[in-house]
Amino acid sequence: MSRGRFITIEGIEGVGKSTNMRRLIGHIEAAGHMVLQTREPGGTPTAELIRDVVLGHAEEPIPEIAELLLMFASRSILVSNVIRPAIDAGTWVVSDRFVDASRAYQGGGRGIPMERVNQLADWVLGDLSPDTTILLDAPVETGMARADSRGEPDRLDIEKAEFYTRVRGAYLKLAEEEPERFEIVDASGSIDDVGAAIDRIAAQILN
């Protein structure tokens, strides 16, 4: 049995990850592959409880280092209980966010030294890395305007533009450092234009 592929979709808020994730999965399934869809933080019952803590609005503040550790606690559960078993069984896994989100949000956005984030990544993930990461990129103002129209914001949604500018910059730097893994899509265009880009990437992945 061949190993499944692992694909992640990243980007700041409001760039259309959910919509384009469904489009990508449609292509993979049409090619005859089993697909498991998941998300971070979350993806398992216990990891979803951690998601509620990280993204919920509580009176008690969450220190930046605690936020990072909670993200990796959720990720450890998801990797051990869902992602690795699925890939080993030949299933393709497509995740809405993964470890690059910690590098961008807690590293770039919060200012936690990247070497600390990467130490946790090495410890929790070992040799597991996405085969392909699609970065949906859009100006911060565009993403925030779209996110504002979605309804009740979570704890990260309410961060200021300066925070998301740092997050976006960190994502673009990661893509620059690993061009063989990242595919950057201009998510500021029309639904059709973005969809066409996803179609092209899907064809490359499935080739």
Domains recognised in the chain with CATH numbers? 6-206 (3.40.50.300)
Provide the b/e sequence for 65-98 (b: ≥16 CB within 10 Å): eebbebbbbbbbbbbeebbbebbeeebbbbbbbb
Bridge-based pairing of strands 35-39 and 132-137 is: unpaired
pLDDT of the residue at 67:
95
Alpha-carbon distances, residue 206 vs 33, 89, 125 (angstroms): 10, 18, 25
Please give the chain's pLDDT, 207 residues, in tens: 689 999 999 999 889 999 999 999 999 999 999 999 999 999 999 999 999 999 888 889 999 999 999 999 999 999 999 999 999 999 999 999 999 999 999 999 999 999 999 999 999 999 999 999 999 999 999 988 887 766 667 667 667 889 999 999 999 999 999 999 999 999 999 999 999 999 999 999 998
Both tokens of residue 95?
A: 């995740």
